[in-house]
Chains A and B, each alone.
Chain A
Amino acid sequence: MSEPGRLLKNSRLEAIVVLTLWLITMIWTVGVSYWLGYGRDPSSLRFFLGIPDWVFFGVILPWAFSTIATIIFATRGMKDDDLGREQESGHE
């Protein structure tokens, strides 16, 4: 397989992984916040370190999840590819 072809194949796969992670975090964040936070009776709220429970489960927790996912993606998931040489015959 040619080197430029490999980059294309890898980057397409990586794009699919990123979009999947986007979908998971979107559904988690908007869904859980809607479920726990919208129209919530304020007297039933619990606070963790001053953070309302719905923010903790709907924003802080998925943020922690995405941070871990980002670390795994950037250290192990994403492949190193040769970016190719500059086209010097262009318009320089």
Chain B
Amino acid sequence: MKTFEKAGRATLLATGLAAAMGLSTGIANAAESVIMAVPTFLTGAGAPAFGVPARNGAEVIIEAINKGTLPAPYDKSGKGLAGRQIQALIYDESGGGVKQVAEFRNKVQKQGVDLFVGYISSGTCAAITPVAEELKMLTIFPICGTPRIFEEIDKTPKYVFRTMGHATADGVAEALYVKANLPDVKGYTGINQNYAWGQDSWRDFDLAMKQLMPSVPVSDKTQWPKIFSGQYGAEISALMLSKEPLVHSSLWGGDLEAFIFQGSARGLFRKKQLLFSVADTSVYRLGKKAPAGAILGARGPYGIFAANIDTPLNNWFRKVYQDRYSVPPVGGSYQAAQGVLAAKFAYDKAAAANGGKFPSKDQVIAALEGSTFQGIAAPVHMNRSNGHQAATKHMIGVLQWDKEAGGPIMTKVTEFGPDCVMPPPGVNGTEWLKGGMKGAKC
């Protein structure tokens, strides 16, 4: 049986034509299987850092679900989703919101997709959310970072879920870490991409710092390079000339790596303390070129932060992933796999409640809403936004190079509970931060 369909442009075109002609597109036994669309960046700048690792993580988990080889706590849950095999339709997320909305409609209305587990870009998720609700399509976002999905775009979702924390948790965890580990810091500045993710990241970190360390001055010249600009000479000069010793950055992918190359050559990391929100995606690839001493996050217990989490599921995932792709799993791998696990958990739980019969979509949704399931490396609590937004523990640490192991490691790691870094249920993240983070359980 053909399990994975990796679609490039040509394949997508062929798929579209075939669908238009009423032909099967490799999804032959749809009635006896669950068709899971997995959109992720397979081309473009988002592919190396997030898209391809996410695809890889999803592939590993889907294959194990279909074979029934997942370790505990899923070792007794049988094969597939509620007994039905997953037929994964993995396709490219590139092209922007308009194209992805068209693809979404096409997959739902012409190809009979049962659920979506995917999307990486905050922009795409924002565009897809209202359409998923309109089409009543179960959609699980495993990665998108912007808090706006359930705080602005749809405050009462029924069909859309997100199975990881959002950018507010990054900002709070980072500020808490700075307060605990750099109590005498003389000021902070930042360099973040000038789009939704970069702006949200800086806003939340800045608001959290203003609450936790109100006397620490913030620069009035934080840097806002264009996404994918790749050239940071002037920004690095400005950061080096600034008097603030701490630099916050949510750069990712090629932008992050270019910034590290250019900054290293100019001694930026010797002169300033860098704090990277999501740099875990690059540390294995960069090896010794990754800036030792930088503070890193991964929006949860993912990637390098999960390297020492000793559970059967995590140990199995890391080994299978490493053996298959010859690199350790990074944040995107974990997060995508976690999204697929959410589907596994929800279908099986719904089937059990349905007397062992295959559940309806509404039953699956009811099973996932407000639940707690085991992610790859930590429990995932679906207890925000009416049970549609996840909260997980958060981890921040300092990157170092382990000479003996010959690889990067995280040191001085601090864990933050989900109720410490995520706004309480029903509370808008920005308002929560401005109001002094009331109700935070740290």
| A and B: bona fide binding partners | no
Chain B residues with a Cβ under 8 A of chain A: none
Write the residues of chain A forming the contact surface with B, with a CB cutoff of 8 angstroms.
none
